[in-house]
Amino acid sequence: MKKLNPTSSNISSTDKSIAVLPFVNMSNSIDNEYFCDGLTEEIINALAKIKELSVTSRTSSFYFKNKKVTSQEIREQLGVSVFIEGSIRVLKDTMRITVQMIDALNDFHFWSETFDRNPEDVFAIQDEVSLFIAEKLREHIGHIEIEDKLIEPIDVPIHIYREYLKGRYYLMKMGYENTVKAISIFESIIQKAPNFPNAYIDINHGYTYMGAMGLMPAFEGFQKAQPFLKKGLELNPNLYRSQLNLSWIECWQNWNLKKAYLHANKALEIQPADEIYLTISNYLTVEGKLNSAHNYIDKALELDPFSAMNIHYKGFLLYLQEDYNAAMPYFQKALALNPILPFPPLYIGECLLFTNRNQEALSYYKALNGVSINDLTQLGGITMCYAKMGDIEKCNEKIRELESYLTSEKMDKAFNFLILVNVLLGNYNQALECIEQAFENHLPLILLLNTEPILKPIKNLERFKKLMVQAIPDNNNYKSQKKYKQILLSDDEIERHGNALKKIMKEHKLYLNPDVSLKDLASYLELPTNYVSQLLSLGFQKNFSEFINTYRVEEFKQRVILEENKGLTIMAVAYDSGFNSKTVFNTFFKKIEGTTPNSYLRMNRRN
């Protein structure tokens, strides 16, 4: 079989990355469709527990459901080196599962297996198939640590578990009607199996989703979700979704970012998932650490490149950095993938507005329909357009309409637009009064004001700074830096943060970015920059340049002796290793290795 050119892709044959495409239902029963999707999701979750393995998340895998795709398309669109496809056929008391493993880089099937099993042994089947996949994958891509079991059986009868899979089927289809139907199924399951934690956690997920997406008032959604989360945690505190939901509560309800990060990181330890990286990116945004937020959303997109929410958030970060032309395609793609996602329409209009396409923005907002009207996007967007265009009479008319929602369930949206509009009009006192009222009502929108570019004219005003410090005590934009000047890290802190930094460098290879800075390291460690400078000095006896370039030299040494790099010049390999200057490269290499790059290459190639 003809092999693809390895240079045509960003992945290599040794990349430990995999996607599990939805298993095809070969039976006529819709109930088997739920089972096929459920089995696929469980295998994805099981493989995601393998630390060295990068597993494409459910949303992106299911993007390809019922679509005929080639290995090249999978490789290019998901960025994986291997993918799984399979089918399930149920006949009376027999279930046949067929699984194939395909090398996406070289386009060949390197393993297939057929499992004939009793459908009642569903948990054993899921674990067996997952372990088979993991073992064969290890043989193909190299060593990965595999536990004896990847899927633990759930203590519920099989018929209830099948009903649960049906609920998951509707929950993952999203939208108001599907979510309500899923919640109804889970509530029925709770009546029959009151000690089944997954059902409680998924009801919590459903209400939280509807509140966050504007499908019901945010406060109502969070309030309804909370008792189900509490019960789910009592039954099993170690589900990653439980920790993630706790994290959301700490951030958006309690405004406690420190605890929010703790729960998010615990969720990440249980199972790496794109929604956790998205969540951490969200928290970094709240703190104003936009460069670090990009790093985390990029990781989320790596795991789930077809997640509309991930794509939207990448655009949102670019919007916050006022790169409106770059942000626009992300919002448009997110909306194309999920037309009911409520956030992109607001920012598509704003991108038009702030690239001086005022009339186009106004026409866009006026043409909106559906969920965007329900969450005040249309009204708020039109009001912003009139403010920007200087049509004060029409703007004031719309302001009065927005104010009518301040005593309704849409209070948070109304306050948000009133703040933005008043700043656009130059009514800074009115904007600050709205912010103060939103703060008193403990509305989550307060946490998003820190980075909103429209609010730049008021960000240096004391009234604004005071509120931001109260809401986000660790806000780098407003807190005093004096307290850090004389503080030295303790020996325990040096060891702890030093180990964390080594792990970050190993996992993220920040040194490959020629523009990486001390601030970037600080953002990853979530420490003030001067702390990290002290850490490098006391813990590594190096300054920033020495620390980063030491990693680059080691990277160069590994790359330059590879057979595939024989045709490259020394400087080409050096640039690939993160250096951006010939002088710096030669100087640091000789300083660290005691010889020149040419001499090192001659000695090692002879060996």
Task: Quick: pLDDT tens for 375-426.
Answer: 789 999 999 999 999 999 999 999 999 999 998 878 888 999 999 999 999 9
182 in a structural domain: yes
Percent of the chain whose pLDDT exceeds 90: 29
pLDDT number for residue 485: 38
For residue 481, pLDDT over 50 is answered with: no
Reference 62, options 97, 36, 93, 92; nearest CA is 36
pLDDT number for residue 483: 37
Question: Are residues 379 and 334 part of one domain?
Answer: yes
Reference 25, options 91, 89, 113; nearest CA is 89
Reference 350, options 338, 368, 337; nearest CA is 368
251 in a structural domain: no
Mean pLDDT, rounded, of the chain: 84
Question: Are residues 310 and 444 part of one domain?
Answer: yes
What CATH number is associated with residue 76? 3.40.50.10610
* Number of continuous H segments (helices) and E segments (strands) in the chain: 29, 6
In the DSSP assignment, the letter for residue 343 is S
Q: Are 380 and 368 in contact (CB under 8 A)?
A: no
Q: What is the largest CA-CA distance in the chain?
A: 81
Question: Are residues 462 and 508 part of one domain?
Answer: no
Question: Are residues 578 and 566 part of one domain?
Answer: yes
pLDDT number for residue 603: 83
Question: Are residues 563 and 517 part of one domain?
Answer: yes
- Which tens digit of pLDDT belongs to each residue from 45-100? 888 888 778 888 888 888 888 888 888 888 889 888 889 898 888 877 788 889 88
255 in a structural domain: no
Beta bridge partners of 114: 98
What whole-number distance in Å separates Cα of residue 302 and Cα of residue 507? 14
Question: Are residues 128 and 183 part of one domain?
Answer: no
Q: Are 539 and 554 in contact (CB under 8 A)?
A: no
Domain boundary among 418, 448, 482: 482
What whole-number distance in Å separates Cα of residue 333 and Cα of residue 341? 11
pLDDT band, residue 563 (cuts 50/70/90)? confident
| Buried/exposed 376-389: b ≥16 CB within 10 Å, e otherwise | bbbbbbbbbbbbbb
Question: Are residues 478 and 497 part of one domain?
Answer: no
Q: Are 66 and 87 in contact (CB under 8 A)?
A: no
Identity of residue 462: E
306 in a structural domain: yes
Question: Are residues 397 and 310 part of one domain?
Answer: yes
Domain boundary among 141, 175, 198: 141
Question: Are residues 410 and 276 part of one domain?
Answer: yes
Question: Are residues 192 and 182 part of one domain?
Answer: yes
542 in a structural domain: yes
The boundaries of the domain holding residue 208 are 158-237
Question: Are residues 468 and 522 part of one domain?
Answer: no
What CATH number is associated with residue 575? 1.10.10.60
Query: Quick one: CA torsion of 530, 531, 536, 537, rounded to 10 degrees?
Result: 70
What CATH number is associated with residue 382? 1.25.40.10
- Which tens digit of pLDDT belongs to each residue from 207-248? 888 876 667 777 788 788 889 988 988 888 777 888 888 888
Global pTM value? 0.67
Domain boundary among 93, 110, 141: 141
Query: Domain total for the chain?
Result: 4
pLDDT number for residue 372: 57
254 in a structural domain: no
Question: Are residues 516 and 394 part of one domain?
Answer: no
pLDDT number for residue 32: 79
474 in a structural domain: yes
Q: Are strands 94-103 and 82-91 parallel, antiparallel or unpaired?
A: antiparallel
For residue 29, pLDDT over 80 is answered with: no
258 in a structural domain: no
